A and B are shown apart, each in its own frame.
Chain A
Amino acid sequence: MAKYNLTVNGKKYTVDADPDTPLLWVIRDYVGLKGTKFGCGMALCGACTVHLDGQPIRSCSTPVSTVKATNKITTIEGISNNTDHAVQKAWIEAQVPQCGYCQSGQIMSAVALLKTNPNPSDSDIDEAMSGNICRCGTYPRIRKAIHHAAELMKDSGNSTGK
């Protein structure tokens, strides 16, 4: 076991974990934020997607020892305070989630996409979202919601759409 300093959603945490413990389980069971989900453990489904310094990563395959205290980790709980991020608003508007289990990961991938590409085409969306599996089949609505979020962000003139 070793001590690790982490910055999650702007808050600092010290956790005592095995070096090879995936960041996913540290976020869920040590930090206590359950919005990030376990789906496959092999970076195949995207349910565990979080941002590391703004980049989407698969936390199930990222050992905690590779994360520095200076890295900023953002989880689904950290993208807005009042569920008012453009992507969240668009997700509600399009009634995207069904079971909802994969949706934290879907939203984190969508937020990262819109940060770098504020006006994505359908094929841009396919490329950015291809790593996130949804077994309920919410894909048509995800596509629609990302286009809508892009519009909301344009209207508000910032990258969160607030």
Chain B
Amino acid sequence: MRTSTELNRRNFLKASGLSGAAFILGLSARASESSEQAIENLSLLEDSFELTPFVIIKKSGKITIMNSKPEIGQGTWQAIPMIIAEELELGLDQYEIKQTSGDKKFGGQTAGGSSSVRTSYATLRKTGAAAREMLVQAAAQTWSVPVDECYAERANVFHKASGKKLAYSALVETASKLEVPKEPKLKDSKDFKLIGKQTQRQDIPLKVKGQATFGMDVEVPNMVYASVERCSVFGGKIQQIDDSQTLKVKGVLQVVRAERVLGKNRYEVVAVIASNYWAALKGRKALKVTWDYQGNDQFSSKQFEQQLRDLSKNEGVVDHNQGDFDKNYAEAPVKLEVFYETPMVSHSPMEPMNCIASWSGDKVEVWASSQGPDLLRNRVADAFAIPADNIKVNIFFNGGGFGRRLYQDFATESVSIAKAVGKPVKVIWTREDDTTQGPFRPMTFSALKGALTADGKALAFEHKVISPSINATQNKNYDKTKSDNTMTEGISEQQYEIPHIKNYYVHAETHIPMAAWRAVTSTTLSFAHECFIDEMAYKANKDPFDFRLDMLQKDTDTKRVMLKLKEVSQWSKPLPKGWARGVAQWEFFAGLAAQVVEVSKKPSGGVKIEKVYAVIDLGTVVNPDTVKAQVEGAVTMAIGAATKDAITFEKGQVQQSNFHDNRMVRIEEMPIVEVHILAEGGPKIKGVGEPGLPPFAPALANAIFAATGKRIRRMPFDLDKV
């Protein structure tokens, strides 16, 4: 039976944006949950009360705030609970943090698209403020004084006049019986104690003593280990398995067939099960699997790249069309036409994929590093046609994500193996597995046309993207007749005031699974787009910064970011001899940033990246130090993607395997990165994790052109040879 209070609570949740979520009060409404969840929650909730699903206060004084966005390095472990704590008047030292497990009452729980803070900021503040108001009201009731004579501070409510105080733990039971305020009063941002301040992340002490638990570190009772043989050619089918030598390896228990479900793809795999990981790996090395490659062993990068170049002659699907490009281009006095190429790359988070799964009766349980407990649950439910409610998910710190852990194939595969084995199985991927098995960031090729007026103003601009599609390789129901927003990401969102613009998409089919990679397609399209803008600037004999500012007459965020960047990078000041600089900016769904990169010519040839100035546009900032760290990290990742190794194929197989031939940026290659945050407050809030990536590669290539006169139109490029 539902009480009216509960119904009011439901209304509150709807009002605060968590629509469809079930609000549960105390212990009475546990029946709707699975038994495992009930047990977990009972232990968590003994003598405790939820004022919202996110805040649990025990009578003993312990306060827990739930983090609904997995920590992948981006700082949500601190940021999400801290937004609630700000409104709830808690210090960072006064509560514990617990990761949510995909339970619907917490709303969307996937960390991706730089969305965690920007999409939940308002809701979380409201959540904290509502809980605070209930506690203050409970105190006022207890003391029989007016509410406005009371205030909350550091987990206590005080009565101003008498100096009386009561701890939240003493008030929570009374508070939990009150109606949840529909429109709680939010704090004035000038009174913030945590948001926008230089605070320390709570996960960092754990991470400097080896005590942070990643998926890789989990053990469950009766667990066995697995190492999995997957076909080196995507889509290969098992013809024959010879496990005679494998079964002789000490510690090997059995060999099972299973499948790895990645989007629409169901890959056949062979798992070697053993009592310890090393035995599983040795057993796998002794395994002989004969594969039928399904013809996919003919695939090579060289051929595919030629296919993309040939496809550039196709018209494609129009993504954006303004003015009259064709006419103005045809009649323009000055024209440019160029072609840019970029590669596939791997995500390579430092924690290789891994996952524990168990399948017992009709219940499935998973322990993993994943960017989304809700995604994981749904993907497993879909893959095995079982109800999502039968799946329990446990999420740990992610040893890097970068988009890789948005794809739950590591979980579907472990579940499939656990089903075959009948015991909890821990699957650990080798680095070679991680490098060769995808999914990968797709390459994009860009055919660009630009026209200038006689006095050097941008008149017409065309960007045609030719590429495989992330969605097409993941989803069955891909519609080729429509433009693909993910693959044309950002190219029609730039604020340059060019009168005639036409952008297209040409789709290239492939069987290689593709994935979102940190800052997604903006990481390749920005390179083509913003280098080409630079080419137009030089063609017009204009300074590349001024050429861009000339096209930014309206008062836009992009204009403000660029003006700030020009100032902080001291663009107009001369550089030391042998140095040069380049600029680029990029606006896309996740946010907006701009960068100036300074390079120097090395005496031995090539260039060195000396310094990066970055401006990121945020509006509201939750932790400025985290923002700086994210931009530093984005630049590092962008250096790698621009100047290190691509993923390439020959005979259907990935040619790279580990960090010797799929090299990552190392400390000695790291330039100085100076980050400036534009945060004027107000309702605007933009993403943090990704925007630092897209401007880097074009700013670097533009700097190299300024230094050497050599225009780079293909990534990756070797800094020693430019």
Given contacts A40-B659, A137-B637, A141-B629, contact A99 B349 (CB under 8 A): yes
- B210 pairs with A97, CB closer than 8 A: no
Complex Cα spacing A138 to B635, Å: 11
- A137 pairs with B278, CB closer than 8 A: no
Q: Which residue of A lies closest to B401 (CB)?
A: A99
Q: In the complex, what's the smallest C-beta–C-beta distance from A160 to chain B, in angstroms?
A: 14
- A140 pairs with B204, CB closer than 8 A: no
- B400 pairs with A135, CB closer than 8 A: yes
- A133 pairs with B664, CB closer than 8 A: yes
Complex Cα spacing A44 to B250, Å: 28
- A135 pairs with B402, CB closer than 8 A: yes
- B200 pairs with A99, CB closer than 8 A: no
Chain B stretch 194-208: residues in CB contact (< 8 A) with chain A: 200-201, 203-208
Is A136 in the interface zone, CB < 8 Å from B?
Answer: yes
Is A71 in the interface zone, CB < 8 Å from B?
Answer: no
Is B38 in the interface zone, CB < 8 Å from A?
Answer: no
Q: In the complex, what's the smallest C-beta–C-beta distance from A75 to chain B, in angstroms?
A: 7
Q: Which of B71, B400, B659, B667 contacts A42 (CB 8 A)?
A: B659
Report A-chain residues with C-beta under 8 Å of the C-beta of B173.
Answer: none
Is A59 in the interface zone, CB < 8 Å from B?
Answer: no
Chain B stretch 628-646: residues in CB contact (< 8 A) with chain A: 629-630, 632-637
Complex Cα spacing A88 to B205, Å: 8
Report B-chain residues with C-beta under 8 Å of the C-beta of A103.
Answer: 207-208
Q: Which of A20, A35, A97, A129 contacts B667 (CB 8 A)?
A: A129
Chain B stretch 215-253: residues in CB contact (< 8 A) with chain A: 216-217, 250-251
Is B619 in the interface zone, CB < 8 Å from A?
Answer: no
Is B182 in the interface zone, CB < 8 Å from A?
Answer: no
- A140 pairs with B351, CB closer than 8 A: no
Report B-chain residues with C-beta under 8 Å of the C-beta of A123.
Answer: 668
- A77 pairs with B210, CB closer than 8 A: yes
Is A150 in the interface zone, CB < 8 Å from B?
Answer: no
Report A-chain residues with C-beta under 8 Å of the C-beta of B625.
Answer: 95
Q: In the complex, what's the smallest C-beta–C-beta distance from A31 to chain B, in angstroms?
A: 13
Report B-chain residues with C-beta under 8 Å of the C-beta of A51.
Answer: none
Query: Which interface residue of A36, A76, A137 has the most chain B CB atoms within 10 A?
Result: A137
Is B465 in the interface zone, CB < 8 Å from A?
Answer: no
Q: In the complex, what's the smallest C-beta–C-beta distance from A42 to chain B, in angstroms?
A: 5
- A141 pairs with B632, CB closer than 8 A: yes
- B399 pairs with A101, CB closer than 8 A: yes
A49-93 to B contact mask, C-beta < 8 Å, 1/0: 000000000000000000000000001110010010000100110
Q: In the complex, what's the smallest C-beta–C-beta distance from B281 to chain A, in angstroms?
A: 9
Given contacts A18-B250, A99-B397, A100-B207, contact A126 B664 (CB under 8 A): no
Given contacts A88-B209, A138-B633, contact A47 B350 (CB under 8 A): yes
Chain A stretch 106-162: residues in CB contact (< 8 A) with chain B: 107, 123, 125-127, 129-130, 132-143
Report B-chain residues with C-beta under 8 Å of the C-beta of A143.
Answer: 667, 670
Q: In the complex, what's the smallest C-beta–C-beta distance from B204 to chain A, in angstroms?
A: 5
- B667 pairs with A44, CB closer than 8 A: no
- B217 pairs with A130, CB closer than 8 A: no
Report A-chain residues with C-beta under 8 Å of the C-beta of B402.
Answer: 135
- A92 pairs with B278, CB closer than 8 A: no
Report A-chain residues with C-beta under 8 Å of the C-beta of B349.
Answer: 99, 101, 135
Q: In the complex, what's the smallest C-beta–C-beta distance from A10 to chain B, in angstroms?
A: 16
- B208 pairs with A34, CB closer than 8 A: no
Report B-chain residues with C-beta under 8 Å of the C-beta of A126.
Answer: 667-668
Given contacts A45-B659, A107-B208, contact A137 B632 (CB under 8 A): yes
Report A-chain residues with C-beta under 8 Å of the C-beta of B206.
Answer: 100
Report A-chain residues with C-beta under 8 Å of the C-beta of B398.
Answer: 99
Chain B stretch 648-687: residues in CB contact (< 8 A) with chain A: 658-660, 664-668, 670, 672-673
Q: Which of B210, B217, B282, B636 contacts A75 (CB 8 A)?
A: B210
- B204 pairs with A132, CB closer than 8 A: no
- A138 pairs with B277, CB closer than 8 A: no
- B659 pairs with A97, CB closer than 8 A: no
Query: Which interface residue of B216, B278, B348 has the most chain A CB atoms within 10 A?
Result: B278
Complex Cα spacing A36 to B514, Å: 31
B574-591 to A contact mask, C-beta < 8 Å, 1/0: 000000000000000000
Given contacts A75-B210, A136-B400, contact A45 B350 (CB under 8 A): yes
Complex Cα spacing A157 to B282, Å: 48
Complex Cα spacing A137 to B633, Å: 4
B422-454 to A contact mask, C-beta < 8 Å, 1/0: 000000101100000000000000000000000
B314-357 to A contact mask, C-beta < 8 Å, 1/0: 00000000000000000000000000000000001111100000
Q: Which of A1, A38, A76, A95 contacts B210 (CB 8 A)?
A: A76
- A92 pairs with B200, CB closer than 8 A: yes
Q: In the complex, what's the smallest C-beta–C-beta distance from A158 to chain B, in angstroms?
A: 19
- A25 pairs with B277, CB closer than 8 A: yes
- B210 pairs with A135, CB closer than 8 A: no
Q: In the complex, what's the smallest C-beta–C-beta distance from A152 to chain B, in angstroms?
A: 14
Report A-chain residues with C-beta under 8 Å of the C-beta of B351.
Answer: 37, 39, 99, 101
- A42 pairs with B209, CB closer than 8 A: no
- B250 pairs with A130, CB closer than 8 A: no
Complex Cα spacing A44 to B432, Å: 12
Is B508 in the interface zone, CB < 8 Å from A?
Answer: no
Is A102 in the interface zone, CB < 8 Å from B?
Answer: yes
Q: Which of A21, A100, A125, A140 contacts B73 (CB 8 A)?
A: A100
Given contacts A130-B667, A132-B667, A135-B637, contact A36 B210 (CB under 8 A): yes
Report B-chain residues with C-beta under 8 Å of the C-beta of A29.
Answer: 276-277
Is B72 in the interface zone, CB < 8 Å from A?
Answer: yes
Report A-chain residues with C-beta under 8 Å of the C-beta of B209.
Answer: 35, 76-77, 80, 83, 88
B560-584 to A contact mask, C-beta < 8 Å, 1/0: 0000000000000000000000000
Is B116 in the interface zone, CB < 8 Å from A?
Answer: no
- B667 pairs with A125, CB closer than 8 A: yes
- A18 pairs with B279, CB closer than 8 A: yes
Given contacts A34-B213, A92-B208, A101-B351, contact A40 B431 (CB under 8 A): yes
- A37 pairs with B350, CB closer than 8 A: yes
Complex Cα spacing A141 to B201, Å: 15
- A97 pairs with B660, CB closer than 8 A: no
Q: Which of A42, A97, A135, A139 contacts B658 (CB 8 A)?
A: A42
Q: Which of B278, B630, B633, B668 contacts A130 (CB 8 A)?
A: B668
Q: 7 nearest interchain CB pairs?
A: A35-B210, A137-B636, A101-B399, A99-B73, A100-B207, A98-B73, A137-B633
List 9 other contacts, CB 8 Å, given A35-B211, A98-B73.
A25-B276, A25-B277, A37-B399, A42-B658, A76-B209, A96-B208, A100-B212, A133-B350, A138-B633
Interface residues of B (CB under 8 A from A): 71-75, 200-201, 203-214, 216-217, 250-251, 276-279, 282, 348-352, 397-402, 428, 430-431, 625-626, 629-630, 632-637, 658-660, 664-668, 670, 672-673
